[in-house]
Structure 1
Amino acid sequence: TGRHKIAARYRSYHGGTSGALTATGDPRRWFTEPGMPGVFRIPDFHEFGADAPRPAAEVLAETEKILKFEGPHTVAAIIIESVVGTNGILIPPDGYMQGMREICDRYGILLIADEVMGGFGRTGKWFAIDHWGVVPDMITMAKGLTSAYVQLGALGMRRHIADHFAEKVFGAGLTYNSHPLACATALATIDVYEEDGLIERAAESGKKLRAHHERAKAKHPCVGPIRNIGLFGIMELVRDPKSGTPIAGFNETVPEMAALGKFFRANGLYTIVRWNGFFTNPPLNISDEELDFAFDVIDRGLSEVDAALGLA
């Protein structure tokens, strides 16, 4: 593009290398600062601890305003997680993704979809961005690409971008680029997704996951916002169900959440417990019985939290 700026959001994580961490918005970025020049922030569509996302039109208007302050002719790309992962399973409001595509088209900016967590069936579609019928210019993928059996990341791009690099070779590379073992593993994994119907299964299992979420919320006063799209889910906890005050603040660790994580592990449930919530992201091939087992452990753990907060 001949441009030098990248726009990213605060509630995001894009990887552990220097440039990816600069694009990352969450606290894992801090120790690498000042980092790569040229990265600036655009608005998030979901506030920490909120029950619902902000209206798409409002966020898009703010985004376009910031782009104008920066000079859209200087902005090469906007990078976004299609569904935000470790910052809280944040699902964009309807119209947001389509609006981002329109803004990028208006100013000649590339739209990069980070699908490292959301891709390969996690949300009940091959890629999370498919839920909104939007085609990005570039798409990052890893994790589910090989089901994590072998390390592999990949970058998909539109034909005209690929053609550019066919003529102007990108000189950087890694020793294990295009490793045959990793690529063979990816092909075999994609075959399994297709042959076992795991993408469709994740969509169906996601309905059962949502029902489990809703039952837990109805039973336990410590449960606040709950979200899932396919098998990509989170349950957030609150200290006071009337005010909706999160049990922990942003980037904060509290004893109740530490105890909940310890309870889960002691009872055979392994998941991420972070800040004010815990993730419900089971394998795509999870059985109904295994899901029931997981939520039995969750139910008992939430009872412990209710008691600790004086809500029982």
Structure 2
Amino acid sequence: SRMFAFEGGYHGRTLGASSITSSYRYRRRFGHFGDRAQFVPFPYPFRRPKGMTAEEYADKLVAEFARLFETEYHGVWDPKANESEFAAFYIETIQGTGGYVIPPMNFYPALKKVLDQYGILLVVDEVQMGFYRTGKLWSFEHFGINPDVVVFGKALTNGLNPLAGLWAREELINPEIFPVGSTHSTFASNPLGTALGLEVMRMTAEKDYEQQIMQSGAYFLEGLKDLQSRHPEIGDVDGLGLALRAEICQADGFTPNKALLDKMVDIGLSGTLEYQGQKCGLVLDVGGYYKNVITFAPSLEISRAEIDQALVLLEQLLLRAKREL
């Protein structure tokens, strides 16, 4: 009946969802309502231990997770009954609110082997990264894994109507074990929402979003790396498709610098930046374990000119914030 989830993971802030979200501040006001997930370290390449490659760090974390099942005294496995206390592992393939952290490509295949060995379901939360945000329909496609359950929403209707859904292996969800009416909600499957969802699926099938988004993302990432080369306060940049990150640090390029990013946010909202002779602003989305990461999730239709403008304004923000702090 219990669940695994990642440190830095975010799956929502309602009662059940907060139990698998690693931020205690979302659970605190609910009081004690049963088991929360057991949170497992996530492979954060930029903040990995010294002397390790990102891939070695990923292997180390998988080995530490697998150790939980070595004996009954590690608390999660009964070797006599061949049964785990844990039913599923909830993941975001790329952490969203955690700061768009992209794990090494060897991590998930190795983790899935352990889960399969002990009969634990892999549930992928694609609410933030699904529908081509990363250049694939589902972000897990980049990592060569087949999840047991996929949860999706938000982009399914482009925000016009609340609608979410789930996909699962047929043996887990079929008309015999999960007949019509097994679950219901006043606003579930409403006609407007389902019509919008179907239209989104049709529209994304009519265009090669994979190629378009990977090209736009590579162009944006190249621009962020150029900024990084000139500003030591940008400690890390990374991205997959149009899910990109820039980690703001002290001058050492590593120590988190929340104060600098907070100042950048304030200046961006003031509308006092300049681009081609006009006043404008720049809204930054902040995430990360230390709230020092700019997470970029622009429109999938963003143009090269708009990316160029964003990069110019971002550099203005950084320079002004450093002067004003």
Same fold (TM over 0.5): yes
| Residues in 2 aligned to 1:5 and 1:99: alpha-carbon distance in whole angstroms | 21
Aligned to 1:65: 67
165-174 or 256-265: bigger deviation? 165-174
Q: What residue number does 1:37 align with?
A: 35
Partners of 1:76 and 1:207 lie apart in 2 by: 38
Aligned to 2:10: 13
One-letter amino acid of the structure 2 residue matched with residue 304 of structure 1:
R
Aligned length: 299
Flag the 1:50–1:289 CA change in 2: closer, same or farther, 3 A. farther
Which residue does 1:262 correspond to in 2? 266
What SS class does the counterpart of residue 38 from structure 2 fall into? strand
Deviation string for 1:37-71 (max 9, x for gaps)?
25212222127855985622101011122355232
- Greater than 4 Å deviation, 4+ residue runs: 47-54, 167-172
> Of 245, 255, 269, which residue of structure 2 is paired with 1:234?
245
Bigger shift: 27-36 or 292-301? Answer: 27-36
Q: How is 1:83-232 mapped onto 2 (pairs within 5 angstroms)?
A: 83-163=94-174, 166=177, 171-232=182-243
CA distance in 2 between partners of 1:174 and 1:61 (Å):
41
Q: 1:70 to 1:177 in 2, by over 3 A?
A: farther
Q: Which consecutive unaligned segments of at least 5 residues does structure 1 have? A: 249-253
Residue in 1 aligned with 2:275? none
SS at match of 1:239: coil
- How many angstroms apart in 2 are the aligned matches of 1:60 and 1:192? 39
Give the distance between the partners of 1:164 and 1:93, measured in 2 at CA: 38
How far did residue 103 of structure 1 move? 1.0
Question: Alignment partner of 2:301: what SS?
Answer: coil
- Whether the 8 Å CA contact 1:198–1:285 is kept in 2: the answer is no
Shift of 1:194: 2.2
Question: Could you tell me how far 1:293 is from its partner in structure 2?
Answer: 1.0
The aligned counterpart of 1:292 is 308
Residue 262 (structure 1) shift: 1.9
Q: Secondary structure at the match of 1:163?
A: coil
How big is the shift at 1:277? Answer: 1.7
The 1:230/1:98 distance shift into structure 2, 3 A limit, reads: same
- Which letter maps to 2:140? I
- Measured in 1, the distance between the counterparts of 2:10 and 2:225 equals 28
Change (3 A) 1:167 1:145: closer
**Cα drift, residue 135 of structure 1:** 0.8
Structure 1 residues 79 and 164, CA, compared in 2 at 3 Å: closer, same or farther? farther
Deviation at 1:27, TM superposition (A): 4.2
Answering whether residue 293 of structure 2 is matched by residue 277 of structure 1, we say yes
Distance 1:94 1:33 in 2: 38
Task: Note if contact 2:13-2:27 (Cα within 8 Å) is conserved in structure 1.
Answer: no
Over aligned residue pairs, what C-alpha RMSD do you find? Answer: 2.2
Q: Specify the structure having the higher radius of gyration (Cα).
A: 2
Structure 2 stretches of 5 or more lacking a match? 78-83, 272-279
Q: Does the CA contact (< 8 Å) of 2:268 and 2:281 recur in 1?
A: yes
CA drift of 1:78 comes to: 0.5
1:245 match? 255
1:173 to partner: Cα distance: 2.5
Matched to 1:288, the amino acid is R
* CA 214–47 in structure 1, closer or farther in 2 if over 3 Å, else same: closer
Q: Deviations over 1:222-264 (max 9, x none)?
A: 111111111001111111226x21113xxxxx3x322211222
1:23 partner SS: coil
Moved more, 191-200 or 276-285: 191-200
TM-score normalised by the chain length of structure 2: 0.85
- Structure with higher helix content: 1
User: Could you say which residue in structure 1 is the equivalent of 2:274?
Assistant: none
Q: Comparing 269-278 with 166-175, which one deviates more in the overlay?
A: 166-175
Percent of residue pairs identical: 27
Q: Distance in 1 between matches of 2:296 and 2:60?
A: 29
Per-residue Cα deviation, 1:109-140 (whole angstroms, up to 9, x for no partner): 10001111111100011111000121100001
> Could you tell me how far apart the structure 1 residues matched to 2:213 and 2:191 are?
29
Q: Quote the Cα distance in structure 1 between the aligned partners of 2:310 and 2:323.
A: 20
Instruction: Tell me if structure 2 keeps the 8 A contact 1:141–1:155.
Output: yes
Match of 2:277 in 1: none
